[in-house]
Amino acid sequence: MGEQQHVAFRDTRGLMVYGHEPWLEMAGSHGHAGGSVDVYVKWGHNMQTDGLARKEGIAALVITPGGEKEELALADGGPDYYTLRFSTPADGFYHVVVKNTGNYVLDKEYRYHQGTRRDYPDAAHAIHYVQYAQAFVPVGHDLAGIPRQGGMELEIVPEIWRHWRAGDQIALQVQFRGKPLDTAVMDVACDGPGGYKQWKESAGEDCRIRLQAREPGRYLVVARREVREREEGVYDLLSLTATLCFLVTK
């Protein structure tokens, strides 16, 4: 075993005020039964890395094709990512979920402070945030199906999942506490041979967003929802985010 890698750490958690969120990128395109898979936890805005969030408040798990849940350890990776590693004993889709939670306030000058309403009673806003990052890891070849759901407060649920190619249409539904959002609007980013692009997609009458993957590359979809809920002395607003990152090939 080599020595553990030590990297310079730049904490940019406070930039979630401007839309920073975690997302997951698989190392490679698929795994093999009887092996293991690495998934990178990245942080920034719309798939543009910007430092990292501290590990405190971050938890990770994987849901196996059979529905079992296994907690995962967050290991140091590089200057702009953590690493998750898990075993893949059987073929199928493994649903990896990272959850980032905590509290912050914005003072009357809209400056960020980590803490609660109790810590800053005169703050303009006190927010409890829950951010989910999802990845569907294929283990095996020519897979098609529906990965196990995670049961999160805000979740991106595919109509079907498989190896995506340029020209495919990808149907996704945003669910809030298990029910589809008919007003969902998602940020989409794509980084491929044609360069980095970002745009928005809205849900149709069937509450699904139908994303046309026009070119190969790495895609990220981001769903956000604010809920006017409060906990006395803690927060006045619940902020939810869900991200899903995936590859599209030629």
pLDDT at 10 (0 to 100): 61
What is the CATH number for 213? 2.60.40.10
Asked whether residue 2 is assigned to any structural domain, the reply reads: no
- How does pLDDT run across 5-53, given as a tens digit for each residue? 444 556 655 555 556 899 999 999 999 999 999 999 999 999 999 988 8
Sign of CA dihedral 191, 97, 230, 203: positive
Please give the full DSSP string across 81-127, using - where no structure is assigned: EEEEEEEE-SSEEEEEEEEEEEEEEE-TT--EEES-TTT-TT-SEEE
Separation CA 82–CA 187 (nearest Å): 23
Q: How many domains does the chain have?
A: 1
Asked whether residue 226 is assigned to any structural domain, the reply reads: yes
Which residues constitute the domain of residue 127? 13-249
pLDDT at 53 (0 to 100): 87
DSSP state of 240: E
Give whole-number Cα distances, 8 to 38, 42, 100, 159, in Å.
21, 15, 21, 40
144 burial level (CB within 10 Å; 0-12, 13-18, 19+): exposed
Torsion over CA of 221, 226, 227 and 229, rounded to 10 degrees? 130
Asked whether residue 40 is assigned to any structural domain, the reply reads: yes
Separation CA 33–CA 152 (nearest Å): 27
Asked whether residue 162 is assigned to any structural domain, the reply reads: yes
pLDDT at 51 (0 to 100): 87
Asked whether residue 7 is assigned to any structural domain, the reply reads: no
Separation CA 242–CA 221 (nearest Å): 8
Separation CA 78–CA 165 (nearest Å): 29
Asked whether residue 212 is assigned to any structural domain, the reply reads: yes
- How does pLDDT run across 132-168, given as a tens digit for each residue? 999 999 999 999 999 999 999 999 999 999 999 999 9
pLDDT at 68 (0 to 100): 97
Asked whether residue 192 is assigned to any structural domain, the reply reads: yes
pTM: 0.92
Asked whether residue 4 is assigned to any structural domain, the reply reads: no
